[in-house]
Amino acid sequence: MKFQKNMLRKYFIMGSQNCHRDPREILQEAAAAGITAFQFREKGKHSLKGAAKVELAKDLKAICHDFQIPFIINDDVDLAKQLDADGIHVGQDDQPVEVVRKQFPNKIIGLSISTNKELNHSPLEIVDYIGAGPIFATNTKEDAKKAVGLEWIQNLKKQHPSLPIVAIGGINTTNAQEVIQAGADGVSFITAITETNHILQAVQRL
Ligand SMILES: Cc1ncc(COP(=O)(O)OP(=O)(O)O)c(N)n1
Ligand SMILES: Cc1nc(C(=O)O)sc1CCOP(=O)(O)O
Ligand SMILES: [Mg+2]
C-alpha cells in the first residue's frame, strides 16, 4: 500500500493490553466509524506473546484490509515481514530506521520524534511520516518522554513544511482540533478509543 498523507488523519493505535473487550470488536467498530490507519502495538506487561500475538495480528490485519486501512506494526520487524504488513513504526530505541528501510523499501515507515535533537539527528528523508509527541501528558506509555506541547508542532511544521506529521500522546475528542490547527497532518490515539463506550461518536469527533 502506497503512503498518502491523509492516512494519518485519524490514526488508531492499540494492543490487547489496552482493551477491556475483544480487540477485534474494537478495531471493527473504529474502522467502520472512519479511522484512516491502524497500528498494532502489542507491548507491555499484559500483552500477548508468541503464537497468540501472531494470531491476533492476522485477524486485525484482515479487518484493516476489509476497510482498506493500512495495517502498521509497532517495533516488531520480524512480525511485519511474516504478515506482510503495510508498514512499520519504530522509535529512537528500536531498530535503526536505515536498517528497516533497507529491509522494507516499499513499506510505510514511521519514526517517533520527541525532541529537537532527535529531529536533527534522524534521517527524515527515508521515512514516510514522523510520530511527534507526547503532545500532552499520557499514562498509556510507561516510558513516555516529557510533553512537548502544541508550539512544538508549529515549530516542526515551520522547519519541515512537507514532512508528514502525526501527533501522539494524550489526544482526545476535546483537544484533537487544536493539534490539527497547530499544523499536524493527523492525530494518533489509544485511550480516546479503547476507554470510550461510544466509538462511533469518538472517531467522528476526532
Ligand atoms: C504514531 C506513533 N508515534 C509514536 C510512537 C511511539 O513509538 P516509540 O517511541 O518506539 O514507543 P513505543 O510505541 O514502541 O512504546 C508510536 N508507537 N506511534
Ligand atoms: C504509544 C505512544 N507514544 C507516545 C510518544 O510520545 O511517542 S505517547 C503514546 C501513548 C498514546 O496513548 P494515548 O493516546 O492513550 O495517550
Ligand atoms: Mg517503539
Ligand with the closest atom to the CA of 166 = 1
> Looking at residue 106, what is its pLDDT?
97
Catalytic site includes residue 122 = no
ipTM for this model: 0.99
Ligand with the closest atom to the CA of 72 = 1
> Looking at residue 73, what is its pLDDT?
98
> Looking at residue 31, what is its pLDDT?
98
Is 0.95 surpassed by the pTM of this model? yes
> Looking at residue 188, what is its pLDDT?
98
Give the three cell numbers for residue 13.
493505535
Residue with the smallest CA separation from ligand 1 atom 15 is 141
Cα–Cα distances in angstroms (integers) from residue 141 to residues 44, 45, 69, 127, 169, in the given order? 9, 12, 24, 23, 9
Catalytic site includes residue 16 = no
Nearest to 153 by CA among 125, 124, 119, 122: 119
What's the CA gap between 85 and 52, in Å, rounded?
A: 17
76 lines ligand 1 (CB under 6 A): no
> Looking at residue 160, what is its pLDDT?
96
Give the three cell numbers for residue 137.
501528558
74 lines ligand 1 (CB under 6 A): yes
Q: Give tens-digit pLDDT for 88-130.
A: 999 999 999 999 999 999 999 999 999 999 999 999 999 999 9
Catalytic site includes residue 2 = no
> Looking at residue 8, what is its pLDDT?
98
Left if phi > 0, otherwise alpha if psi is -120 to 50, otherwise beta: which for 147?
beta
Binding residues: 39-43, 74-75, 94, 112, 138-141, 170, 190-191
What's the CA gap between 32 and 16, in Å, rounded?
A: 19
Which residues have a beta carbon within 5 Å of ligand 3, which is an ion? Answer: 75, 91, 94
Average model confidence (pLDDT) across the chain: 97
Helix (H) or strand (E) holding 187: strand 186-189
Q: Using CA atoms in the order 8, 94, 21, 26, what is the torsion angle rounded to 10 degrees? A: 20
Q: What percent of the chain has pLDDT over 90?
A: 98
Q: Give tens-digit pLDDT for 39-97.
A: 999 999 999 999 999 999 999 999 999 999 999 999 999 999 999 999 999 999 999 99
Q: Give tens-digit pLDDT for 1-39.
A: 999 999 999 999 999 999 999 999 999 999 999 999 999
> Looking at residue 192, what is its pLDDT?
98
Cis amide bond preceding 134, omega within 30: yes
| CA–centroid distance, residue 201 to ligand 3 (Å) | 29
> Looking at residue 18, what is its pLDDT?
98
Q: Give tens-digit pLDDT for 125-155.
A: 999 999 999 999 999 998 999 899 999 999 9
189 lines ligand 2 (CB under 6 A): yes
Residue with the smallest CA separation from ligand 2 atom 11 is 169
